[in-house]
Amino acid sequence: MNNFTRTITLLLAFVALPATAEVRVFACEPEWAALAGEIGGDLVSADSATTGLQDVHHIDARPSLIARLRQADLLVCTGAGLEAGWLPVLLRRANNARVQPGKPGYMEATTYVGMLGRPERVDRSAGDIHAQGNPHIQLDARNFLAVADELADRLAQIDPANAAQYRAGLADFRQRWQAALDGWSRDTASLQGMPIVVHHDAWVYLVDWLQLQQLATLEPLPGVPPSSSHLSRLLQQLEGSDAAAIIHSSYQSPRAANWLAERTSLPVVELPATIGGTPAATDLFSLFDDITARLGTVAP
Amino acid sequence: MNVDGLDASILGPAMAAGLLVLVTHVPLGREVLRRGIIFIDLAIAQIAGVGVLAAHSLHLAHDGLAVQAIAYASAIAGALLLFACERRWPEVQEAIIGCTFIMAASAGVLLLAGNPQGGEHLRELLVGQILWVDYHSLLPVAVLYAGVLVCWRLLQGERNRLLFYMLFAVTVTASVQLVGVYLVFASLIIPALAVRRCTAGAVFRGLLVGVCGYAVGLLMSALLDLPSGAVIVLALGMLAIVFSSLWHCDGAVRTGRSR
């Protein structure tokens, strides 16, 4: 082989290999893209359709979203209606048979964890509730173990040649995650039973995991400004209470939380709802490091 | 730069939706500009949205077809109301339209407070996204617009204002669901504004501005990986400035309620 052909061959290999070798994962939220990376390592390329600083209920359509879903081998979303406003129409436009519901390439994380906030009855008066339960499962760090098990299975199914590596990646992740879980539960022992006020009802999994106590919700119906009678009831309720903090998500405006803070002199704690929600939350581990550290600042 | 989005099957349906919208909105927009009632599209779309929300709280909006029927009926009712206002108080018609818009929007907030689930319907109705359009969903709109254009042609001579209001209501209710309120407003007003001084081939020139705006906007949104609707609006605005300064049209600007 002469020099020229060798260079061309090398170049071709360089260009062609990553496109064919990787399992392309289309994640709806950053936490699932990160989880795929933790398990698959270099064998997967994972992108998220949304960022940690955006309301995942609604997204603006960009051409690249359709193009990426069209090439995807595996779609990982939260499910339970969280992406109902845009995922069905995006799936239709991408027209990719590998990632349609029911295929191995279509995975909803909420299917594999115990759901909280499942309404006893669903009617039109209860607001923007999700019939399948509260979808914000990523805020209980324990949930990632069950989702990781399923995700590793799916990766092995889609890319059987590397199944052993996905199993090894899963085992490694489980071990590191379990150690981290132990650390977080040690660090947050003092938070147990801490009474908090939340902006939206998006924190039930965090409250359940860290055994906090949710006293009240500032905006009971997402997307609808609270009425003045709700706010005055809230102020009365907080008057004699021992609430420690007001929690709001970094993707939402702090105005409502600040309004309440001014009247109750409670501290406001801004938490990342997922990776990218705060500068410190750069991966799954630092996400929960940051959440627990921020909550620690108001620990009793 | 991002070349993944440069795919005819991704941008094609969006461009087709843009062409459909332009074919009706450029001629209607010239009439809207001439009458000085530029916010009428926002008012009509908002009234259609409130109609759907009201139907939702009364448990009338069961399926897509019922929602559509209610949206069109509300829009036509709103158009009749605005037509009656124009006959009665022509000198303050634009102010009345603005007030109608803001009152309809506020009524929507109150209806949502009792029934937040209706919010999804309102959003679907008012903030259609051009990239989500597929060819399949364009067919009924194409048929509807063909009917609108035929009626529009027929009424040209007789200055039938009532018919104009009705046609406008139907057109906007369809286009807002397809491409969203920003693009509807831009498609109506920007080309009409660019050619307002042109006497020869004004509709053709307006269409040229519109087609170039949609094409450039879609390509830029694919290359820069940005939300398509917003990029198209900006492209339309900038191309309108470029084209209107190139053309040097200096016909008399026709305004007021006569032709």
- Find the CATH number of the domain harbouring B128: 1.10.3470.10
| B259: in domain | no
Q: Provide the edge-to-edge strand list for the sheet that holds A245-249.
A: A213-217, A195-198, A245-249, A268-271
Q: Which of A68, A90, A223 sits opposite B116 (nearest CB)?
A: A223
Distance from CA of B130 to the nearest CA of A (A): 8
* Token pair 């392309």: residue: A24
Q: Name chain B contacts of A95, Cβ cutoff 8 Å.
A: 9
Share of chain B above pLDDT 70, in %: 91
pTM of the model: 0.84
Please tell me the predicted confidence (pLDDT) of residue A225. 74
CA-based nearest distance A16→chain B, Å? 16
CA distance B166 to chain A (A): 31
Taking any CB pair shorter than 8 Å as contact, residues of chain A touching chain B are 58, 60-68, 70-71, 85-86, 89-90, 92-93, 95, 124-125, 127-128, 221-225, 227
Containing A261, the helix (H) or strand (E) segment is helix A255-264
Structural domains of chain A ordered from first start? 3-183 (3.40.50.1980), 188-296 (3.40.50.1980)
B43 and chain A in contact, CB less than 8 A: no
Provide the 8-state DSSP code for A224: S
Burial track A135-158 (b if 16+ CB lie within 10 A, e otherwise): bbbbbbbbbbbebbebbbbbbbeb
Distance from CA of A155 to the nearest CA of B (A): 24
- Residue B239 in domain: yes
CA A288, A252, A124, A196 dihedral sign is positive
8 Å CB contact of B228 and A127: no
User: Whole-angstrom Cα distance, residue A76 to residue A30?
Assistant: 10
Residue B2 lies in a domain: no
Phi/psi zone of residue A223: left (φ > 0), alpha (ψ -120 to 50 degrees), beta?
left
A237 is written with which tokens? Answer: 């309720």
Whether residues A125 and B115 touch (CB distance < 8 A) is answered with yes
Please, what sign has the CA dihedral across residues B246, B252, B255, B259?
negative
List pLDDT tens digits, range B134-189: 898 899 999 999 999 998 888 776 667 888 999 999 999 999 989 988 999 999 99
Tell me if A64 and B225 make a contact (CB, 8 A cut-off). yes
| Mutation site, A124, A125, A201, A217, interface B, largest B CB count within 10 A | A124
Which residue type, as a one-letter code, is found at position A140? D
Closest in B5, B13, B132 to A67, CB measured: B5
Task: Quote the pLDDT of residue A125.
Answer: 47
Q: Which residues of B touch A57 (CB under 8 A)?
A: none
Chain B residues touching A85 at Cβ < 8 A: 120, 123
Strand partners, A268: A246
Interchain pair A224, B112: CB under 8 A = yes
Helices in B115-134 by DSSP H: which ranges? 118-126
Task: For residue A68, give the chain B residue with the closest CA.
Answer: B4
Q: What is the pLDDT of residue B259?
A: 38
More confident call, B235 vs A200: B235
Quickly state the pLDDT bin for B258 (edges 50, 70, 90). very low
B41 vs B97: CA distance, rounded Å: 9
- Mark out the alpha helices in chain B (DSSP H runs): 8-35, 40-57, 64-88, 93-114, 118-126, 135-155, 161-179, 181-194, 202-224, 228-247
Query: In which region does residue B132 sit, left (phi positive, over 0), alpha (psi from -120 to 50) or beta (all else)?
Result: alpha
Residue A129, φ and ψ in degrees, nearest 5: -85, 155
The conformation of residue A226, written as its DSSP 8-state character, comes to P
Residue among B109, B113, B132 whose CB faces A93 most closely: B132
Return the pLDDT at B79: 95
Q: How far is B200 from chain A (nearest CA, A)?
A: 37
Burial bucket for residue B57 (CB in 10 Å: 0-12, 13-18, 19+): middle
Average pLDDT estimate for B105-130: 77
Residue B31 lies in a domain: yes
Q: Report d(CA A71, CA B33) in Å as an integer.
A: 45
Among the partner-chain residues B120, B131, B230, the one whose CB lies closest to the CB of A63 is: B131
Residue B173, domain member (yes or no): yes
Residues of B in contact with A86 (CB under 8 A): 132
Any A CB within 8 A of B204 CB: no
**Whole-angstrom distance, CA of residue B198 vs CA of residue B247:** 8
Note whether B225 contacts A62, CB cutoff 8 Å.
Answer: yes
Give the residue with greater pLDDT, A154 vs B55.
Answer: A154
Give chain B positions within 8 Å (CB) of A68.
Answer: 4
Residue numbers in B near A128 (CB within 8 A) = 116-117, 119
Angle at A241 between CA A237 and CA A242, to 5 degrees: 150
Burial of A215 (0-12, 13-18, 19+ CB in 10 A): middle
In a domain, B256, yes or no: no
Please, is A291 exposed, middle or buried when counting C-beta atoms within 10 Å of its C-beta (0-12, 13-18, 19+)?
A: buried
CA distance A268 to chain B (A): 26
pLDDT of amino acid A202: 87
Q: Choosing among A26, A64, A68, which should be mutated to test the B contact, i.e. which has the most B CBs within 10 A?
A: A64
The residues near A26 (Cβ < 8 Å, ≥ 6 apart) are A46, A47, A49, A68, A69, A72, A74, A75, A76, A99
Hey, are the CB atoms on A224 and B116 less than 8 Å from each other?
yes
- CA dist A20 and A37 (Å) reads 17
pLDDT at B257 exceeding the cut of 50: no
**Per-residue pLDDT tens over the stretch A167-180:** 999 999 999 999 99
Report if residue B75 sits inside a domain.
Answer: yes
A62 neighbors B225 (Cβ within 8 angstroms):
yes
Report ipTM for this prediction: 0.78
Instruction: For chain A, 300 residues long, give each residue's pLDDT as a single digit of tens.
Output: 455 555 555 555 444 444 456 899 999 999 999 999 999 999 999 999 999 998 888 888 889 999 999 999 999 999 998 998 899 999 999 999 999 999 999 999 999 999 998 776 555 444 445 578 899 999 999 999 999 999 999 999 999 999 999 999 999 999 999 999 999 999 999 999 999 999 988 899 999 999 999 999 988 776 677 888 888 899 999 988 889 999 999 988 888 899 999 989 899 999 999 999 999 999 999 999 999 999 999 987
Q: Which residues of B touch A63 (CB under 8 A)?
A: 4-7, 10-11, 131, 218, 221-222, 225, 228
Residue B37's SS3 state is coil
Mutate to test the interface with A, among B2, B125, B132, B231 (most CBs of A within 10 A): B132
| Domain limits for position B152 | 8-247
Amino acid identity of B69?
Answer: A
> In this structure, is residue B171 part of a structural domain?
yes
Count of domains forming chain B:
1
**Sequence letter at residue A35:** L
Q: Strands across the sheet with A44-48, in order?
A: A44-48, A23-27, A74-77, A106-108
CB contact under 8 A, A63 and B227: no
